[in-house]
Amino acid sequence: MTAYHRPDTLDEALRIAADGACILAAGCTDLFPATSAQALTGPVLDLTGIAALKGITRSAAGWRIGAGTSWAEIARADLPEAFAGLQAAAREVGSVQIQTSGTIGGNLCNASPAADGVPPLLTLGASVELAGPAGLRVLALEAFMLGPRRVALVPGEILTAVLIPEVSGQGGFLKLGARAYLVISIVMGASRIVLDDGRIAQAALAMGAASPVARRLTALEAAVTGLRPAEAAGFDPVLVTRALSPLSDPRADETYRNEAAVTLMRRLIGEAGR
């Protein structure tokens, strides 16, 4: 039988993780589908027993979402309008069942190009807190997500929290799939837009499932700032497509993904403030 550890403190978890041999597990909603066997092969370090990794808190430094916080908890939390995109994404992760088990930390560490959580977190300026043998470090989310199935965790490190600064504006999220529930995105877009007197004072925009990792659309953000949403929505498509490198697969082809990304972004921007 393979080793299984389920400590209840982070210190204990870090001790177990130190040799880097363990697979880190949380909701297991990505680990189990990767095998047809009835049991996972370890050694596994299960982080779900650690109370300190759960919950959403706010301090002077901003928001802290424990890495072990489930999507169901995020969906139900009382959060400002800026988080509306993240909460909408939370309600579209897999199914209700997956949202009960699946965690925000697991979603990031699994690093699927179609991870629902990443685009809204990018628009919130999120960073991640990593605990390791050398102590704590904080990385911008963009620096953490390296590529498909690749993140900047070094052996022995554990993702402990997602940190979000105080942000304003209205969050939005649109997921496009070939059916209503339990669907992997063809593309998805997230937005956080601050309006001032009907004009876009600040825009944070991101696309997922259209590049190896979800991308902030900084050129588009700059281009729409200062405009009214309706006129901003008429942006030059290359401001989106230049940032993307979508694949063709059975879900959709590259041309479609580029076009749909532009469409989703036009809708997110155009509907800001409505």
**Binding residues for another protein, total number by CB under 8 A:** 47
Please give the residues from 169 up to 198 whose contact with another protein meets the rule CB under 8 A: 176, 178-184, 186
Q: Considering only residues 12, 81, 142, 259, which one is a binding residue for another protein as defined by CB under 8 A?
A: 259
- Rounded Cα distance between 239 and 225, Å, is 13
81 versus 259: smaller Cβ distance to another protein = 259
Q: CB-based contacts of 138: which residues, under 8 Å, 6+ apart?
A: 127, 128, 129, 130, 163
Is 263 a binder of another protein (CB under 8 A)? yes
**One-letter amino acid for residue 223 of the chain:** A
225 vs 1, 121, 167, 202, 218, CA distance in Å? 58, 20, 17, 6, 11
Sheet holding 62-66, edge to edge: 56-59, 62-66, 158-164, 127-132, 135-140
Q: Interacting stretch for another protein, rule CB under 8 A, among 28-36, 127-135, 149-157, 226-234?
A: 28-36
212 versus 256: smaller Cβ distance to another protein = 256
Task: Report in angstroms how near the CB of residue 1 gets to another protein at its nearest.
Answer: 5
Give me the residues that bind another protein (CB under 8 A), please. 1-2, 4, 6, 25, 27-29, 32-33, 36-42, 44, 46, 48, 72, 94-98, 100-101, 176, 178-184, 186, 250-253, 255-257, 259-260, 263
